[in-house]
Every structure is written in structure tokens, then in C-alpha cells.
A and B are shown apart, each in its own frame.
Chain A
Amino acid sequence: MRLVQGNEAVVWGALAGGCNFYAGYPITPATEIMEYMARLLPGRGGVFIQMEDELAALAAVIGAAWGGMRGMTATSGPGFSLMQEHIGYAAMSQTPCVVVDSQRVGPSTGQPTMPAQGDVMQARWGAHGDRPALVMTASSVKDVYDTTRLGFEWAYAYRVPVIILLDAVLSHMRENIELPAVAPSPEISQPTGGMSPPFGPYPFVPFSAATRTIVSGLAHDESGATRGSGIGAASERILQGALRQIEKDASRIARCRTDRLEDAEWAIVSYGITARAARSAIDLLRRDGVRVGLLELHTLWPFPEHIVREVARKVRGMLMPELNLGQLVLPLRSAVEGICPVSALGRADGELFTPEAIAAAMTEEIQQIEVGGRVSHHA
């Protein structure tokens, strides 16, 4: 057991996932990730480079992927906004990479050192156009490690930029965890042939002497060709294929944790740092005899509709507390519409919810539902 910081856990999880390339730009509260990488990667034979801005950081990661290294970057809101151009490029070019966004209060410079969950929609919809999205979050240092490691696996399995959402508190808090030993220089074998087409539902093959791949952000077909009458349709075909593949694996991708839902009449649906307060809120409510349970979402996108519906069928109402003014509650409501009512509890002032605040909102919702209707809270 060791006391590990959330940002440090990102680094160990990434290394366990085979990460050997990091490009970044300093930003609170994500900076420690690059500081650890700067210390660790040279001695492990990997590459660390500090770029001139966040656009360049993600561009370098994408370039490195085509050069055969497994790359990531980490940032916070303002940098995440800048990275949208290249998140779109990574999606269009089916380049595997991992982007960690330690959320702080926005918009703009906001409150650099204070936690938020305001990038949930940007993580899904930030780049222009449609794209597949794999977005995960975590609520403990151990989760951060596991999620980052898994992020690399998924980035390569689905050839997408995987986004991991942390927040200022999770990044900076320390918890005792068991860190599995990480091999000094992971050798990840990658296909080297030029046998299958470079794009579409085929494995990611970096540049080699055997390939003549053209990577472009322009609409293209499976061969990489960007002109001809069918290019628009081919580009949509590749996108639809990627979306279908993710949909097909929805049950594997949708990671969550449940707590005391077995006999629950009410459910708090939560994610990230807020789920910790939600768990304590359940202790408080249960002490008062309220049968409430927790559904903690680890995968945010694709939104795990089947899981929330299953819970919705068993309870009389749901509450979603989140550190924004109502973002993930939108797909939640749309998924459980007609099954059970959902209340939202939001705040965007840089403070965490107390368990008492969540318990009070749940109690209020219960009272409201017992007389009928739906409520919305904003702290």
C-alpha cells in the first residue's frame, strides 16, 4: 500500500496500459500528471515532451500514434476546449489516444483550483460534426488507475480518442492504494503489415516501410482516398461502423458500481467525485429509514441507457446530483422517460456537495413525488 495522488494514479495506470508517449502543456489542476511523466518516461525509454500549447500537445500525441507509440495528454477546461480540434481529427483519422481532463470550474479561466463536472457535454459533443465517444470518469484514486489503464485498451480496440474526466479534488487527493508492479518498458506489439485497409473496421497499423498510408481529416474511404463521388457516403459508413461497434459492446463498455440498490425505492444516480458524497448521503437517509441506493456511473458516454432503465424500473424516483447546472441529467431523463421521475441537483460555484445537501434534495424529491410532480434544484 502507498499513498498515491489522483494525478499520479493516472500516470501509473497509463504506464500499465502501455503508454510510452506523453505530450502536454501545464495547467492546473492536471499539471502533476506531466510532471510525473517528465520524471518517469525518459528512464523507461518512452518519450516526454512539453509542447507550446494544448493544440500542439494532442497533435504530437496523434503523430506519435502513427509513429508507433502509445500516447496521451492531460489538461483541464481551457486546454480541453483548445483540444477539441484535434479530438475531432483523432476521431476522423481513427487514431487511438487518451485525453485526461481534470475538470475545474468554467467557463473560461473560471476557478482553476476548484472542482467541477462541467465538461461532461463537451467531452461528448465538443468537436464539430459527429463522432464516436468513449468517456469515463472515476471517484477514487484506485478507480483513476484502473480507468486510465483501461482507457488505452479501449483507445486501441475502438480506434478512438478515449476521454477520462477527473476533477480538481480527485486529481489532488491522496489515498492508500495497492499499485500493481508495472514492467519497466512495456513492449506492446502492434501489427506492422499493410494487409488490411488503413481505415474503417480494421486494426490500427502505424506507419512502417510496408505501408503507404495517407492520414487525413478530410472525409475519406477505407483506403484513405479523399476524392471521388462516393467519399461522403464512405466517410459516413466508417463513422456508422465505429458507432455500431461501440453499441454492440455497450454492456461491456458500460461500467458502473451499485450500492444498496437491492431493496431501494429511490436511487441516486451519480458519477465522479460527487458519487462519494452521494454514498454518504445514502448512509444518512438509510439511518432515517429511507430505502435509497446508489448507481455510480463510470462510463458516461456512450450513456448507459440500459443500466439506468433497469434501475428506473425498480425505483419510484431518481436524483442526479452533479457539479454543473444540469448536464448528464439530460440523457438520464431521456433514457428513463415514462419509467420514473428524475430530479436534478446542480451547483457550479466550485464547492462540492455535502452528503447533507444530497440527502435533503432526495428527501424533498420523495415528498414531492408522494404528492405528485417533478422538482429541480439548483444550489
Chain B
Amino acid sequence: MPEVGEDLKRYLRSEMMPTVWCPGCGHGNIARSIATALDRLEMDLGQVAILGGIGCSGRTPFYFNTNAMHTTHGRVLAFATGLKLANPRLTIIVAMGDGDALAIGAGHFVHAARRNIDLTVILYNNNIYGMTGGQQAPTTPFSFRSTTSPFGSIEPAFDAVDLALAAGATYVARTTTFDFAEMPEFISEAIRHPGFAMVEILSQCPTYFGRLNKLGDAPDMLEYERDHTIAAEGSTTQAVEITRQDLLGTLPVGVFRREIRPEYVHQYAALSRARGGNYGE
């Protein structure tokens, strides 16, 4: 993780440093942006829980000075759903990897989005399985290499924004680790959003994705992120159209949806009250 100032240190568990992340990995920048967002929102750390799945991104919960769960591969949103329902006052931030959210956990991802339960998903997308050493992910772009697509991927890649929009997420955004300003801004907005929020962040993996695809080291990969994304703030329909572009081409970044729709925990509390129960009171 990059150096952080005194202002952010209280959010982090110094005894857990250094992180498991490789030199040049973008994940530390994302974690730092989460800390920045917590600071901007003046969050009470006792009211925050950070959850993660399995993989490089899944280690995020260990580094924050909050209650935390490091769960199972792909299933973190189901744990988060139970935790949120049991303690609705908690602000829950869920760190997921692209394999976590879009392969093994895709089923949980779409249903959490459909319920519009008040969780904030930060999807660390490095286009590859890093923890296990560089295998193909559902986000590995067509023709790109990994240790399990050594001749180039013959599959189309998943677009997390498309999927989140289709599943009913009510706050959907994408940015990159290149954009130090946008990351904490989107994360803050997602945390404040009363419903299921997903911020996908393209993150560089120089160790595997960069090396296997000759994309250079971390600074080169950050430039690659900059050169292959365009700002695409707009309506849902425009956004959906634009994200259907070939992932090899330019990828739109920005906020694709901000929508207020009944949130699951509120719906459940209303049901409980209607039945004479006192849930959530």
C-alpha cells in the first residue's frame, strides 16, 4: 500500500502491514482510497464492517481497523447480507475480486444487486487471478494471455458494469487506479448511497497480467488504464450502449446509475412492522 499520512493511519491496522500485495499492485491504492472515503465521511469505525472474499482483494478486511470478515471464495455477499440484516446500523463495505464477483460468486452478486440491499461493493478488477498465479479470469479480455490461456483467451470477457446494471444495482460506477481523485470520490458516494452500490476499479497486476501480456511495469499499466478508458457519465441507456464496446477498445468510466429504489432492509422492516413485529426498531 502506498505511504499514508497520519490522518489515515487510524483507519488501518499497522500490525498487519506490510500487505500481501506485490510491489506495483494497484490494490493498495484502492485500499487507500477506501480509507480516504471513510475519512471524508467521518465514519465511526465501530459502525463499519469490511468484508472480503478470497483472492488478492479478499485480504482487504485485514488492513482496516474495523470489525471484519474474510469469508469464502465468491460468497462474501451472502455473508454480508446476513450481517446487514442482523445489524442494519452497520455500514458494510465488501471487497471483491473479478473472479470472486463474476465467476464463482456471480450468482450471489446478481441477487444482492437485485435485492438492492444496502451494501457497498468495491470490485477490484485486475483481469486475472493473482493469488493463484495468473490464471484466466472472466474479465481477461479476448486474446489476452494468462497461464491458463497461454495462447490468448478465446472467450469474451464479462463487463461488471453491464452485469450490475442488468441485475438492478442502484449505484454503479467504474474508475481506474490511475484516477486518484475519482476513486475516493466514487467510493464515498457509493457508501452514502442507500442501496446496493458497486464501484468497479480497474487495477494493475504487473506481476501476472502485465508480465504475461507485455504491458510493462506499474507506471506503464497505469498509463494503459488512462489511454484505454473514456469518461462516460450519462443516462443508463447511453451507458449500457457504451459498455457493450469491445473490451479491447476503450472502456467507459464514470457513474452509470444513481437511482433510489426501495432498499431490502427497509422493505423487510416494513413487512415486519405490518406483521406486528419490531424488527429494526
Contacts and interface: CB of A to CB of B under 8 A. Distances in A.
A284 interface: no
Given A43-B275, A207-B87, A215 B70 contact: yes
A266 B140 CA distance: 66
A36 to B, nearest CB: 14
B154 to A, nearest CB: 29
B45, B72, B268, B281 pick with most chain A CB within 10 angstroms: B72
B90 A207 contact: yes
Interface stretch (B61-69, B217-225, B229-237, B249-257): B61-69
Contacts of A176: none
Interface residues of B, number: 42
Contacts of A23: 81-82
B71 interface: yes
B274 to A, nearest CB: 8
A181 interface: no
B277 interface: yes
Interface string B249-281: 000000000000000000010011011111101
Contacts of B83: 63-64, 66-67, 207
A86 interface: yes
Q: From B44, B268, B274, name the one whose CB has the most chain A CB atoms within 10 angstroms.
A: B268
Interface in B83-116: 83-87, 90, 107-108, 111
Given A47-B279, A217-B72, A52 B107 contact: yes
A85 interface: yes
Contact of B278 (A45, A62, A65, A216): A45
A42 B279 contact: yes
Contact of A56 (B49, B85, B108, B279): B108
A42 B78 contact: no
A10 to B, nearest CB: 19
Contacts of B277: 41-46, 185
A216 B69 CA distance: 6
Contact of A217 (B62, B65, B71): B71
A212 B75 contact: no
B47 A209 contact: yes
B82 A64 contact: yes
B78 A56 contact: yes
Contacts of A348: none
Contacts of A213: 67-68
A85 B278 contact: no
Interface residues on A, range: 35 or more
Interface string A199-224: 00000001111111111111000000
B160 interface: no
Tell me which of A61, A66, A206, A217 has the highest count of chain B C-beta atoms within 10 A of its own C-beta. Answer: A66
Contacts of B82: 21, 23, 49, 59-65, 67, 71
B158 interface: no
B80 interface: yes
A6 to B, nearest CB: 25
Nearest to B107: A52
A227 B62 CA distance: 11
A211 B67 contact: yes
Contacts of A21: 82, 85-86
Contacts of A41: 277
Contacts of A55: 75, 78
A310 interface: no
B257 to A, nearest CB: 22
List the 7 closest pairs (A to B, CB-CB), nearest first: A67-B86, A63-B82, A209-B46, A60-B82, A59-B78, A43-B275, A56-B78
7 contacts: A21-B86, A52-B107, A60-B82, A63-B80, A69-B85, A85-B72, A209-B44
Interface of B: 15-16, 44-47, 49, 61-62, 65-72, 75, 78-87, 90, 107-108, 111, 268, 271-272, 274-279, 281
